[in-house]
Amino acid sequence: MHEINEWPEEGELVVCTVEDVKDFVAFVRLDEYENKKGLIHISEIATGWIKYIRDFVREGQKIVCKVLNVDTDRGHIDLSLKDVNEHQRREKIQEWKNEQKAEKWIGFVAEATGTEPHAIKEVFYTHFGLLYPAFEEIVTEGEAALKKFGFSKSVNEALKTVAGENVKISKVTITGTLVLTSMKPDGVNIIRRALRSAQPKIDDVEIDLTYLGAPNYRIKVTAPDYKRGERAIEKAAKAAIGVMERAGDAAKFVRKQKAKSA
């Protein structure tokens, strides 16, 4: 769960619960953002002509939406359901479920060691932007990961026990955002070259790029472990930035950090 005052970013995928469906709009609650509500206009429900909006959404349904616009002054969040494909929906739901599990595990550790859950979450968010990947790294990296976190011995032992009992590692995922800006007449081609260079062939590593809206491009690396994933994402980002800078344009890589949990 995010801080009460935190807002989602444009282009972000969010898990929502449908609360009310009208003739031309659906109102939802953003499950990952406390006290935040959003709306989906009928034009963003599905492609093509829609006669009855309830053929696509209903009260109580869990859905994954893309954030189109955030107006913090008005407390207004516009969402799209049609812009989320099935693959993205499955991945986001899995991430959300994993975060819920991690919340419970941190609760177990906090209760067993007399530690504030917030203290553990703060460290995990700082390193990963999410909670679940921290438990994955504890399983794959062991003492090296625990040493990096800087917790007490009792918390480390509890984390190691909980992670070992609950996390089964197959692949790990690391994400970030490439910010690519070009003012050149052929800027589109320069950015295309940069994106191609951000997909080097690396054994056992998958690199996916998603357009979030100019100038942002999401880069996601799936790898057997975090060390390989970190090396891959750094290599990919460095390659893209190199192309942009050699052309005299601006570029940077941002590892998204979620706000600290309340």
Name 203's Cβ contacts closer than 8 Å, sequence gap at least 6.
none
pLDDT level of residue 94 (50, 70, 90 thresholds): very high
What gap in Å lies between CA 1 and CA 129, rounded to an integer?
12
**Domains 88-166 and 172-255 are alike in CATH topology:** no
Domain residue spans in the chain? 12-82, 88-166, 172-255
The CATH number, out of the four listed (3.30.450.20, 1.10.3720.10, 3.30.70.1130, 3.40.630.30), of the domain defined by the range 172-255: 3.30.70.1130
| pLDDT tens-digit map of 224-259 | 878 888 889 999 999 999 999 999 998 999 875 433
pLDDT level of residue 93 (50, 70, 90 thresholds): very high
**Which class is domain 88-166?**
mainly alpha
| pLDDT tens-digit map of 134-187 | 998 898 888 888 998 999 999 999 999 999 999 887 778 888 899 999 988 988
| CA 109 to each of CA 43, 126, 130, 138: distance values in angstroms, whole numbers, following the listed order | 45, 18, 17, 14
Q: What is residue 4's predicted lDDT score, i.e. its pLDDT?
A: 42
pTM attached to this predicted model:
0.63
Helix (H) or strand (E) holding 66: strand 62-71
- CATH architecture observed for domain 12-82: Beta Barrel (2.40)
According to DSSP, the β-strands at 25-30 and 37-41 are antiparallel
Mean per-residue pLDDT over the chain, rounded: 89
